[in-house]
Structure 1
Amino acid sequence: MNAGQVKMESAEPQTALKGWDAVLAIDAANLNELLFHQYLEKGPDSADIHFSLAAQDDQDIWLVNVVLGPPQISFSAGNTDNQQCTVSMEMIRGVVVKMDPNSSVVKAVLHVTRNQAEVTGEINLRKIRGTVTNPNSQLGSVVIDLAGGAFTPRIAGIDPKSELAMELGKAFGFYFAANDTTYALGGLTESNVPDCLQPTDFVFYCQKAGENDGCVVLLIRTNGSTGDLGDLKPYPIEEGYTTGLYVSSEVLFGKLFPPFLSKNNNSGISFSGKQISAGNWVTVAHSGTLSVMVKDEDTDSWSSDSNGYEMPVNMNLSGLTVRADGTNLSVYWEYKWKQYWTRPYPGHIGVDNTQSNEGTASYSLTATPSVDTVTDIITFSGKGAASYKPYKADFWEKFFGKMNVSDILKNTVENSLQNALEDIQLPSVNVFALENLLFPASHTLHVEKAALPGHLYAAGRTKRPVAVEPAVTPSIMPGTSVQLGATGHSAGDFLWSVVAGGVGTISDAGLYTAPAVTGAAAQPVVISAVLRSDTKQEGRALIVVTSPAAASGLQVEPESLMVTPGQTFMLRVADAAGNPVKADCTLSSPVGTLRPALQQGEWIYTAPALLEDGAAERVIFKAVSCADKTITGQSSITVVPTTAVSVTSSSATISKGGQVSVTADANAGTDPLWFVLPTGRGTITANPEDRTKAVYTAPVSITPADNQVIIGVYAGGMNFSNSGFTAVSIEG
């Protein structure tokens, strides 16, 4: 091979990057971890997690007061929108209240229990300006925008196909829109990296994988051209990892390596990038010389020019090529030239004998990648080998005697190229991964594996500086304990605490103990662990304290129900898969009546018209499978009295953006829930000193057709359930 010629064989890129300079793919599991830790940072009392909303069904108003669990992302194969995902949030605890606004009578209260309620929606992903750590970043972040979602609630006791379920789904959307509820997935910012790695713009794309799996792909432009949208093939995340980071062949070999290698060698080699096929580049030397003076004192022979004058052997390094080779970095150089050699002519004093001999010098190196687990620096290491082959193999012995000129030239090549090429630390890519790619909840991208399938591929995952284990504890029973710790630390390294709004206690050693009694509803508890040696470093974990449901083979929905005298409610009996089951159903005592409905598995309960002494009464709904008498299920029904709450407002009319004060009478108790119907049409805030009083704030913009608002209040406990309403008109 002559100087300047590039060896053309090269592995094609494993995953086509569609013309983008860099690509970051994050799978659903990693995204859900990011969402989970944002959820923990918000805390269970956040307005994004614990809130009330209302919807109307015929003449009844339904209030939902709920504590949501962490958002969970999935990617539906049937959704063709490449900027949407499916988000599900479990309802950990709460109540669903059915009320008659005309009589201010509560008809029924469903208690939300674990695994029996969730809200799911097809959610738009959106690009916004700024990032979690750099609000002024011009590049921005990708967020899931719950405000734009179309939601479907699943609540035990409510037909998911009913008009009520549809109206409640709209109410969830209105609430998230009014509160601008978003969760960040990741973003980009500027840092001190070369221009070829400095992000200037990006777009995002949702790529599906299988039934519900997939990833969000950030397609990044640095100083190159904008690429195309579409699925990356093959799938961009390797099994066993949750992120895939790619730097294009053009950026790596065409822009990043040339100045780096030109600067970091002692042989005067200058490099440049060269495209050898579509999307495939190599780094090629276009100058540089290796020189060595060869002289044999025994035979008085030397390297020379054609006239016999002493001259070093000069080997032109042009054409030395650095390229990708499967997973490794490959270096190859070959130089063929005619070299003159001179020695005294035997028997002729002062007469020299100059002869030439063609030869070929070569160098090859295969460097395998490794990743420093602390710095994330990617290094390609290997031992290069050089050779020199003369055209006439016996020339040396005749001309130089015992001196091995081939070894001299071989060693010169190896020694000169070793320092520059045998341990290449990939420049700036670790800085790009750690500083340009930003993630919420203190996560950073960590590279665990690197390869060169044409472009640079780095597999890894995002991690937090403090990872509390277990991050999610399965439900524990009241009065029990669970030990928490943190990866790489002892429990005593942390200041442990229960975040405000939680229940139970935690010791200095990280032992959490749930309270002995919590009531029927599940209690989400967020635990904080602050590193004593650096209080800026914090980890969090979630524990749910709940009394387990009685073991059974049948599901009865709802599992816990309150009704008021004379009201009816439909219960549903199903198997573990949710299929309606034919069952014999009875009441544990004659508190109300029970009759089968038209559909299999549906039963209608009617509460007694009057309560003895006006006190609440409890009855157990029991279901026994007709096919197998050992398979049973049950629901707890409590009949409670209801009393209308009188609600007064300081004005029946209000201007856009204005406020009105509302007050509930003593029937509201001391801790009522205030709400607005329709959800999102203004806000209502209870007085923290006296929650029977609240202030309603109207929206600043509204259409004439949407100027009516109902303000409601609900007060309930285990033994009573009251409600009241007032109407307000918005003018202007």
Structure 2
Amino acid sequence: MANNTKADLLQWLAGGTRTYGWDAVIAYGRKDANALLRKQFIAGFADATTFPTMQGVIETGQLTKTLRNVQLGPPQLSFEASSLDESRARLTLRIVAGQVVTEGEGGVVQKIQELVPAFSPELFMNIALNKTDGGSTSAGELYLDLNDAYDFTTSLFDADDDAGQVQAGVFFRERFAELPQARRFTLGSVARVDGVFEVESFEVRTQMAPGANVRSAANFGDGAVLMFIKFRGGKPGTMPTPDAFRYLIPEDGFGATLILSASSLLTRLGESIGAYLGEGVTFQVTAAQNALVSAKASGEWSHVSVDPYSAGWQSGPACSTTNVYDRLDSFSVSSLTLSIDGEKLVLAWDETHQRPWYCFGMSWPCSQPALVFSETTSNSGNYLVDLAVTCKFVVRLNPAGEAIVVEQTSYASSVSCSDMHAPSPISNAQVESHFQAGIQSEVKDTFESIPDMTLPIGALSGLLFADSNSVRLKEAAAPQDLVCFGDIDSNTETPCLCPEDSVLGANGVENLTCNVAVAQWTLRDGDGNDDPKTVGSITAGRYQAPDMSNADGVSRQIIVTAHAVGGGQAHALITVLKTPLMVDPVFQVVSPAGRCEILAGALNTPDVEARLIAHWPEIAPSLTPVPDKPGAYVFAPGKSDKVHSLSLDRVEFTSKHHAGAVSSAYVLTQWRSDTATIIIDPEWTGPSTQAKLMLLATNDDWELVPYDGADWTLFAGDGSVDASGIYTYPERPEAGFAVVQAILDDDGYELRSHLVIPSLAKSFPVVSKYATRFRVLAVGTGGITLYWQRPTTQAKPYYTVLRDGALFCAGLYPPVPYMTSLEAGKTYKFTLRVTYKDDPQSYDCGPITVTVPLP
């Protein structure tokens, strides 16, 4: 469903004030909110405070996800579950760099993902938008804190994997808690300064766009952050219900909407008009909530000056003159109103005034003009003045977008005088006509050209983002409330780079521009390195990415900083890819009867070409493009193979847009089950560039023990393995993994196993308080074996095994199999709990369900 158009909103706003008693309401949409978050994220990354790379293990009992050198991208708000009843939104963080290794039962690697922006898992959470209390200079700050996030989900795990979703939430919540500075993002800082608009407080709500909860909709997730604002001296309004309040961001290309209540608008315009008419004129707004609003004047329009009417006549030998005076120099304005009608402001005055008059006369002998022999001042009375004035004004935004200008477009008036009873022989009609002309002239002089009124709405929009951003207004109208449409942009004096966030291939070029003069350009990577071989070079905004042929990872993030001549800095984040061709995953395991999907893409184009290179061509594996999904392919391992135990097929991707670039994805198929297990010896004390591999199998007593004498071979991938099972990691990984095989003839029974070793395991060892590879194996009659690998933290762990939720055993167990006997045929649930002396939190693995074998 589309959002409202501007015309729809104006029609709705014309039905009455829509601010529910608040002095102003501002709404800004997802695009502008996310731009604020992205700018802060990049600035924080430049200060080395935003999301350092993460290492860790997410253990569910079924799957283990090992995260190495993981980098999160900018947070992105969405509003598919938002309501005006609360102030929450959906927050998405993409995992844009690093490696994620998925292990299944028995610690077998199932998938390796080398993460790049094009193919990256996402982390989702609900989060509350909070505000701080105001102070002497601030009415408060609108912010979100990742520590307040809840209901975590992630595409690292299947949507129905409840345990995986819960444990992923626990993992990332812990990581966020370790970042007291970087976890908080500001969405608005409201200043408190003297002026026409002095914000005292505000409330926050979120709003979903129409139909934005439908995943297939073009505007899915669209919505807005709303701030309901009270000015000093005002009263807080009420909160609208979701079904009574329109979505305020129009689909006409605007990102923010500012509404000044009709009450606030008329109050401020009434002050200007009152000051113009005289000190005695004031306006008072009268309106029921969400009804048409008007302001009624009180006081007197003073400084009215009507010339007296003069008449003269002769009666016999006597000559006479009389002056008729309007005795008042003001008019009551009790019926003067200021209202809004059809997007025009209307100043209307329609009133019958009863005004007193008196006359002063003299007579003298016509033959002796200097001799006055009679004066008369006793005649007086009242007459009526019917006065009607209508002035109309339009609202426009000045070219700079900083002020609302209210200018008069029309004037109409009528004045009539009646009920005059002047003494004879004075003509009542002539007196009425004289007074009418005088009053008409005064009214015209005052009301025909009321000076333009200026409302500094830009000051209000600046207060609402009192840091480096403000609402840039583009259009304005006054259907009832004053509504302004615009966007949130950086202040003109704040340094800003464009583009802020981009992706390049190795040796690629990006031209950056800054809105202010730049004194110096600097570069560094996420670790603080500034060696041109690592970060590239920049001259006058022209950035050239480094050569990535010797890079350890598949991408590198570079911070570009422009140091402004006048002070201040602007930052941009550039992700440099080792190759412009991206695949996901780079390695995965598929069962003989299974299928798996591979995604591929090229920088700035979806056009890729795929070629399947079969390990054993006679098995006839296949690769099929997915219809209507560019870059997606389905791999099938082929027919059954009774000769080979493993096959590793490679899919090679190229693109005509990137000559010479090649990327590969590997698929491992296990045609025969392993009869043993290979593990990396956790007690290995040799060089960090090597690992000791151990072949484990059960003996006659059903104990899982190591076996010596196996034949070790590197089946495929990087590195090397010697005859004793010492694996040496590669200096420069190419495939990104190794597949090591071990075979041993044990009295005619072949012990056979393989192990997939990710190449980054050496460079980025994982530190975790969780035990991993927790397994419960049913062995022999009435027996089970519990096995786990100890946590990688240096702290000493204490283990507690829970059986069906109750204590089963506990102690400082070494990381070796633990055997016990239970009732045969019965099913149990086991949970492994790890605790530490100085840490009140427990770290659980499981539960795992096992049925004890029968005799």
Aligned partner letter, 1:23: V
Residues 73 and 594 of structure 1: is their aligned pair in 2 closer, same or farther, counting only changes over 3 Å?
A: farther
Which of 38, 41, 48 does residue 39 from structure 1 map onto? 41
| C-alpha contact 1:205 1:230 (8 A) present in aligned 2 | no
| C-alpha contact 1:77 1:208 (8 A) present in aligned 2 | no
Partner of 1:688: none
Aligned counterparts, 1:100-249, within 5 A: 109-129=112-132, 139-143=140-144, 145=146, 147-154=148-155, 161-162=160-161, 166=165, 169-179=168-178, 182-187=183-188, 189=190, 191-193=192-194, 197-211=198-212, 212=220, 213-222=222-231, 223-231=234-242, 233-238=245-250, 239-249=252-262
Matched residues in 1 for 2:814 and 2:305: separation? 96
Report deviation, 1:27. 0.9
Partner of 2:561: 528
Give CA-to-partner distance per residue, 1:511-560, whole Å, 9 cap, x none: 11111336572333332223212x13x33333332266559xxxx741x2
Report deviation, 1:191. 1.2
Which of 322, 333, 349 does residue 333 from structure 1 map onto? 349
Report deviation, 1:251. 4.0
Partner of 2:765: 673
| C-alpha contact 2:280 2:299 (8 A) present in aligned 1 | yes
Aligned counterparts, 1:675-690, within 5 A: 675-678=767-770
Matched residues in 1 for 2:56 and 2:459: separation? 45
Residues 331 and 17 of structure 1: is their aligned pair in 2 closer, same or farther, counting only changes over 3 Å?
A: same
Report deviation, 1:711. 14
Report deviation, 1:215. 0.9
Partner of 1:289: 301
Matched residues in 1 for 2:663 and 2:459: separation? 58
Q: Secondary structure at the match of 2:330?
A: strand
Report deviation, 1:320. 1.8
Aligned partner letter, 2:245: K
**Deviation larger for 257-266 or 523-532:** 257-266
| C-alpha contact 1:113 1:522 (8 A) present in aligned 2 | yes
> Aligned residue pairs: how many?
636
Residues 290 and 273 of structure 1: is their aligned pair in 2 closer, same or farther, counting only changes over 3 Å?
A: same
Matched residues in 1 for 2:197 and 2:594: separation? 66
1:376 aligns with 2:395: no
**Deviation larger for 397-406 or 71-80:** 397-406
Residues 665 and 359 of structure 1: is their aligned pair in 2 closer, same or farther, counting only changes over 3 Å?
A: same
Matched residues in 2 for 1:385 and 1:584: separation? 76
Aligned partner letter, 1:637: Y
Report deviation, 1:730. 0.9
Give CA-to-partner distance per residue, 1:321-366, whole Å, 9 cap, x none: 2223343332222332355486979999768898976433333322
Aligned partner letter, 2:91: V
Matched residues in 2 for 1:159 and 1:109: separation? 16
Partner of 2:841: none
Q: Secondary structure at the match of 2:766?
A: strand
| C-alpha contact 2:581 2:653 (8 A) present in aligned 1 | no
Aligned partner letter, 1:88: T
| C-alpha contact 2:537 2:546 (8 A) present in aligned 1 | no
Aligned partner letter, 1:230: T
| C-alpha contact 2:286 2:294 (8 A) present in aligned 1 | yes
Which of 484, 489, 496 does residue 521 from structure 2 map onto? 496
1:359 aligns with 2:385: yes
1:637 aligns with 2:636: no
Partner of 2:51: 48
| C-alpha contact 1:477 1:548 (8 A) present in aligned 2 | yes
Which of 64, 71, 92 does residue 67 from structure 1 map onto? 71
Partner of 1:731: 837
Q: Secondary structure at the match of 2:246?
A: coil
| C-alpha contact 1:88 1:118 (8 A) present in aligned 2 | no
Partner of 2:695: none
**Deviation larger for 204-213 or 182-191:** 182-191
1:20 aligns with 2:30: no
Report deviation, 1:510. 0.8
Aligned partner letter, 1:113: V
Aligned partner letter, 1:244: T
Q: Secondary structure at the match of 2:80?
A: coil
Unpaired segments of 5 or more residues in structure 1? 1-9, 577-582, 612-616, 625-632, 650-662, 680-693, 713-726
Residues 445 and 57 of structure 1: is their aligned pair in 2 closer, same or farther, counting only changes over 3 Å?
A: same
**Deviation larger for 349-358 or 117-126:** 349-358
Report deviation, 1:572. 1.7
Report deviation, 1:168. 6.1
Aligned partner letter, 2:345: L
Report deviation, 1:25. 1.3
Matched residues in 1 for 2:23 and 2:811: separation? 53
| C-alpha contact 1:709 1:729 (8 A) present in aligned 2 | no
Answer with 1 or 2: which has the greater Rg: 2
Give CA-to-partner distance per residue, 1:270-312, whole Å, 9 cap, x none: 33232367544322221022343333799679xxxx9945635
Residues 179 and 591 of structure 1: is their aligned pair in 2 closer, same or farther, counting only changes over 3 Å?
A: farther
Q: Secondary structure at the match of 1:292?
A: coil
Matched residues in 1 for 2:200 and 2:332: separation? 37
Report deviation, 1:248. 2.8
1:477 aligns with 2:509: no
Which of 546, 553, 572 does residue 515 from structure 1 map onto? 546
| C-alpha contact 1:620 1:634 (8 A) present in aligned 2 | no
1:433 aligns with 2:461: yes
Matched residues in 2 for 1:444 and 1:510: separation? 26
Matched residues in 1 for 2:345 and 2:487: separation? 23
Q: Over the residues paired in the alignment, what is the CA RMSD in angstroms?
A: 5.5
Matched residues in 1 for 2:98 and 2:282: separation? 69
Residues 113 and 171 of structure 1: is their aligned pair in 2 closer, same or farther, counting only changes over 3 Å?
A: farther
Report deviation, 1:34. 0.9
Matched residues in 2 for 1:710 and 1:60: separation? 23
Residues 208 and 478 of structure 1: is their aligned pair in 2 closer, same or farther, counting only changes over 3 Å?
A: same
| C-alpha contact 2:87 2:128 (8 A) present in aligned 1 | yes
Aligned partner letter, 1:271: F
Residues 507 and 586 of structure 1: is their aligned pair in 2 closer, same or farther, counting only changes over 3 Å?
A: closer
Which of 445, 448, 456 does residue 471 from structure 2 map onto? 445
1:88 aligns with 2:76: no
| C-alpha contact 2:340 2:478 (8 A) present in aligned 1 | yes
Question: Which gives a bigger RCO, structure 1 or 2 (Cα 8 Å, sep 6+)?
Answer: 1
Residues 272 and 728 of structure 1: is their aligned pair in 2 closer, same or farther, counting only changes over 3 Å?
A: closer
Report deviation, 1:24. 1.9
Unpaired segments of 5 or more residues in structure 2? 1-11, 213-219, 314-321, 367-373, 602-608, 627-632, 655-661, 669-677, 692-728, 730-761, 772-791, 816-832, 839-855
Aligned partner letter, 1:454: Q
| C-alpha contact 2:17 2:261 (8 A) present in aligned 1 | no
Aligned counterparts, 1:543-562, within 5 A: 543-546=574-577, 557-558=584-585, 560-561=586-587
1:423 aligns with 2:452: yes
| C-alpha contact 1:15 1:234 (8 A) present in aligned 2 | no
Aligned partner letter, 2:154: P
Report deviation, 1:101. 11
Report deviation, 1:620. 2.4
Report deviation, 1:266. 3.4
| C-alpha contact 1:496 1:527 (8 A) present in aligned 2 | yes
Aligned partner letter, 1:220: I
Matched residues in 2 for 1:347 and 1:454: separation? 64
| C-alpha contact 1:117 1:153 (8 A) present in aligned 2 | no
Which of 329, 335, 341 does residue 319 from structure 1 map onto? 335
Aligned partner letter, 1:422: P
Q: Percent sequence identity over matched residues?
A: 15
Report deviation, 1:95. 0.5
Q: Secondary structure at the match of 1:62?
A: strand
Residues 618 and 405 of structure 1: is their aligned pair in 2 closer, same or farther, counting only changes over 3 Å?
A: farther
| C-alpha contact 2:383 2:419 (8 A) present in aligned 1 | no
Q: Secondary structure at the match of 2:200?
A: coil
Aligned partner letter, 1:511: R
Partner of 2:443: 413
